[in-house]
Amino acid sequence: MHTANPLQRSFTTAHTRRVIEQEIEMAEALIENDGTAFPDSTFEEGYIAALKFILNQSSSNVREEYEDMMDELNGKDESEAA
């Protein structure tokens, strides 16, 4: 009897493809603006955080940083317009 390797099984994530694409876009915007929003984190910690997000074991750590960045940028735009 052949048993499937549990690491090779398909799974379904709670997130839509669009939500995952938005996460990537937000992370890319953070890189473009700041270089990194997580200077004290290692690549491996970021990798783990991303996988935990995909598995719905944690919320997005990128979204909060992205929203803070956008608030900052919008604040600059408003002060420059005044």
pLDDT of residue 76: 75
* Contact of 56 with 13, CB cutoff 8 Å: yes
Give the structural domain span for 38.
Answer: 14-81
Residue 6 domain flag: no
Residue 36 domain flag: yes
Kindly report the average pLDDT of the chain as a whole number.
89
7-44 pLDDT tens trace = 788 888 899 999 999 999 999 999 999 898 899 999 99
Q: What is the largest CA-CA distance in the chain?
A: 74
> What is the pTM for the complete model shown?
0.75
Count of structural domains within the chain: 1
